[in-house]
Amino acid sequence: VISPEGCSSILWRSNDFSQKAAESLKLTAQDCLKNKIIDSVIEEVDGGAHRFPEDQAIILKNEIINSINNLKNLSIEKRKKIRNEKFLNITSEI
């Protein structure tokens, strides 16, 4: 297990290739979504979260609230099953 930055540093002796390393390691958001490791990808506010942190925080807050509300509608058994499947997906992709 290594971070994309660590992988980039070892393979290319530079952190400049961390995005390429993340793609190779299948750590991108789209890879994780495809492999059912994550439930969704939260879109970044136009212009970037670093420029508009308050706007991004509102988007993130709403996504968290929606996720919690959706989980509240599930039984404990169903939530456990979903969590176990997610962990199994993580280990099967390694």
CA–CA gap between residue 65 and residue 27 (Å, rounded): 25
CA–CA gap between residue 62 and residue 84 (Å, rounded): 25
Range with top average pLDDT, 14-23, 38-47, 81-90? 38-47
pTM (2 decimals)? 0.66
The first and second tokens of residue 74, run together, are 């599930």
For residue 26, pLDDT over 70 is answered with yes
Radius of gyration of the chain (CA): 17
The confidence score (pLDDT) of residue 93 equals: 54
Model confidence pLDDT, tens digit, residues 38-71? 889 999 999 999 999 999 999 999 999 999 999 9
Helix-strand-coil split of the chain, %, nearest 5: 65, 0, 35
- Residue among 18, 17, 16, 14 at smallest CA distance from 3: 18
The confidence score (pLDDT) of residue 94 equals: 53
The confidence score (pLDDT) of residue 32 equals: 85
